Chains A and B, each alone.
Chain A
Amino acid sequence: DAMVIQNPRYQVTQFGKPVTLSCSQTLNHNVMYWYQQKSSQAPKLLFHYYDKDFNNEADTPDNFQSRRPNTSFCFLDIRSPGLGDAAMYLCATSRVGGNTGELFFGEGSRLTVL
């Protein structure tokens, strides 16, 4: 019954070695989000897709990229991970135009950078 699925749940990489995190959804929601959450902090929005339109937050580093090849899938690419990029990465979806504005989250991908 999982509706937003993130893979992998745990990712270990070396400093500077590219990483791709994936997110898929079965909700057919038109908006997909990527949040970064560091230990004991609030989730911080990196970017989101409204349908195919990409919306980058002003303070998201260029090291972070995203792709949404279709409605169901979205990817987060970290081109050259640094130690400061170690965090939980959360994917979420919502159906804008509906009545709730509720976000549905995946279980997250925890990234460790060695």
Chain B
Amino acid sequence: SQQGEEDPQALSIQEGENATMNCSYKTSINNLQWYRQNSGRGLVHLILIRSNEREKHSGRLRVTLDTSKKSSSLLITASRAADTASYFCATSNFGNEKLTFGTGTRLTIIP
């Protein structure tokens, strides 16, 4: 069963604006990861945040994690046309090596 639900399902913004996507999950996690998927391609890992971390940065990406609310957010700053893609959160539980994906957000950057 799916662990994560993402919000919004679709997001369109102007190039240069910031994009924020949210992910909620149901059970305790070991870590939470974000992936990007360009149309018709495989998924690419963006960033991982552990359950004992609250915020993490990587280039233009900022991820937050609130384990009390079982939620995470991905912020992409100064968006570019090349950021157009689907973004998925994925959760890893303690004790197994499986990764369960959320429903995804389709991001469109308008040049």
How many interface contacts (CB-CB < 8 Å) are there between A and B? 63
Interface size on A, residues (CB 8 A): 29
Interface size on B, residues (CB 8 A): 25
Please determine whether A107 and B42 come into contact, CB atoms closer than 8 angstroms: yes
Task: Quote the shortest CB–CB distance from B62 to chain A (angstroms).
Answer: 18
Contact residue among B4, B40, B103 (Cβ-Cβ distance under 8 Å from A110): B40
- Contacts A42-B102, A94-B97; is A103 near B43 (CB within 8 Å)? yes
Contact residues in A for B42 (Cβ distance below 8 Å): 4, 6, 90, 105-108
Task: Quote the shortest CB–CB distance from A24 to chain B (angstroms).
Answer: 14
- Smallest CB-CB A-B distances: 5 pairs: A105-B42, A42-B101, A105-B43, A96-B97, A102-B45
Q: Please report B residues at the A interface, Cβ cutoff 8 Å.
A: 2, 4, 30-31, 33, 35, 40-45, 48, 88, 90, 92, 97-104, 106
Q: Please report A residues at the B interface, Cβ cutoff 8 Å.
A: 4, 6, 31, 33, 35, 40-45, 48, 50, 55, 88, 90, 92, 94, 96, 100-108, 110
